[in-house]
Structure 1
Amino acid sequence: MTTGSGVVAFGVPPEVAFDYLADPRNRPAWQSSLSRVEAVTGEPRIGQRWVDVTRPGLRPSMETTELDRPHRWAEIGRWRGVRAALALTFVAAEPGCEVVFEFTVEGDGTFRPLGAVLTRVAVPAVRADLRRAAGILAS
């Protein structure tokens, strides 16, 4: 399994960044691949579910797997034989915080060889999306 990672600076406290990023209803504003989210079940919590509707038309089922405000949040998305996991760790830093991300794609069967490739390809997009979120929160 290949994991991609990185760090993005946010000019807001960890609590502000956490609350914004952990709420799937905010995602279409900062995640470039999304057109919308659907079927959000309640407020952010472990076990919260929703469906990402991507611009290519894929509809992965998403679930929050970790939520330790304001320190760590994680999700898993499933679509056919592919699983994508994203974990965000929030670290206080002047003048706000750093968001450390870890991202992994795994596949079953014929999708298995694509996991490492998709992980590497997606890391720059994850970083760019988090930078977009930091910009939104800074304004």
Structure 2
Amino acid sequence: MRTVGGTVPFPVPAEVAFDYLVEPANRPQWQSSLAAVEDVTGEVGVGQTWTDVTTPGLRPAMRTTSYDRPHQWSEDGTWKRVTAALDLTFAPTGAGCDVHFRFRITGPGPVRAIGLLASYASVLPVRADLRRAAAILGSRTT
């Protein structure tokens, strides 16, 4: 399974960035495609589930698949037969932390063929969303 990704600098410690990004209730603040988050079940951590309500109207079922505060976190979301997965790792820097992201879209049949292209097309929006989150957190510390 191929992944694509990048890195976004955050002006806050890894613990602050981690706690903000992994909390489903915060997602509509920084994720441009989200109108809301519903049906959150469980505490923040592996196994937590929720439903993303996207602005196009899709409602993927989301779940946290790995959680190692403040180092690494992963989720996947499934809509019909398509799965999108996001992995975040947090590396402390002198000015805060770097958030490294990997993203992939998978599915059966024709989705498999276009999954890598769709993954590459999603890098810019994912990076832009993480930059928005970094700016929100940065504005809270000034």
> Structure 1-normalised TM-score?
0.97
Tell me if 1:28 matches 2:15.
no
SS of 1:43's equivalent in the other structure is coil
Tell me the CA shift for residue 94 of structure 1: 1.3
Return 5+ residue gaps in structure 1 as ranges: none
What's the CA shift string for 1:36-82, capped at 9, x where partnerless? 00001132110000000100000000000011000000001001110
Q: Is the 8 A contact 1:90 1:100 kept in 2?
A: yes
Paired residue type of 2:73: W
Count matched residues. 139
Moved over 6 A (4+): none
2:84 — aligned with what?
A: 84
CA RMSD of aligned residues (A): 0.8
Moved more, 20-29 or 110-119: 110-119
For 1:131 and 1:91, the matched residues in 2 are separated by 16
**CA-CA distance at 1:100 after TM superposition:** 0.3
Residue 129 of structure 1 is matched in structure 2 by 129
Match of residue 112 from structure 2: 112
Q: Tell me, in whole angstroms, the C-alpha distance in 2 between the residues paired with 1:120 and 1:2.
A: 10
The AA in structure 1 aligned to 2:121 is: V
Q: Distance in 1 between matches of 2:115 and 2:70?
A: 29
- Pair 1:69-2:99 in alignment: no
The sequence identity of aligned pairs, in percent, is 58
1:34 Cα offset (Å): 0.4
Q: Offset of 1:114 from its aligned partner? A: 1.9
